Amino acid sequence: MAREILTPGAISLFCRLVDRLAGAFAIVVGLFISTIALGDDFFKDYVLSVIRNTPSVKVLVADAATGGCWTNPTATKALIEEKLLRSGIPVKSDAPMLLKFHVTGFSFDSAKGTPLGCAGNVGLFAQHLSEAKAPNGEPLAWADVRSFSRSKVLLGPKATFLKGIDDHARTWTTEFVVLWLKSRQQ
């Protein structure tokens, strides 16, 4: 005697799954088509215009690392600010653009309690508030817009973790400086 494999419940579940997958597929296709239609140049031009129209930058360092995984956030902030200032980028405490360097991390030990290292995330991003206006000029809303973003997962002994933080701070600040200077050339 053959067993009934496709019960009404199984068919219903299968149909719901197909429906959800079709919806997800439609979203992916729509995003792909809109990217092709607008092109990468649209987004690059937008980012460059945001940065070009920003007169100065505020540097913020967010330390969410524990267990001695980041021992020098003040030095890292000084490194970033010095690199910006040397490149001619004004650094001000009330600047409209925030360049935020953040580190999250925790230390971990072996089963015997021997310190092994740190694991976490390091990132640098630039954001600013963008105001949307109605046709009559009245403000409608503010949006937090990121015009530059880098992030990396770090894992290793504390010394390697600390070196990775400073290496990424240097590299990403240089990338931001290049983008800033490129925006001024257009």
3-state DSSP helix/strand/coil % of the chain, to nearest 5: 45, 30, 20
Using only C-alpha atoms, what is the Rg of the chain?
A: 24
Domain boundaries, the chain: 7-43, 53-185
- The string of pLDDT tens digits covering residues 39-50 is 455 556 777 777
Q: What is the DSSP secondary structure assignment for residue 72, as one 8-state letter?
A: -
- Written out in words, the top-level CATH class of the domain with range 53-185 is alpha beta
- The string of pLDDT tens digits covering residues 94-140 is 888 888 888 888 887 766 776 678 888 899 888 876 666 667 777 65
Of the chain, the end-to-end C-alpha distance in Å amounts to: 77
pLDDT of residue 11: 55
CB neighbours of residue 136 within 10 Å: 5
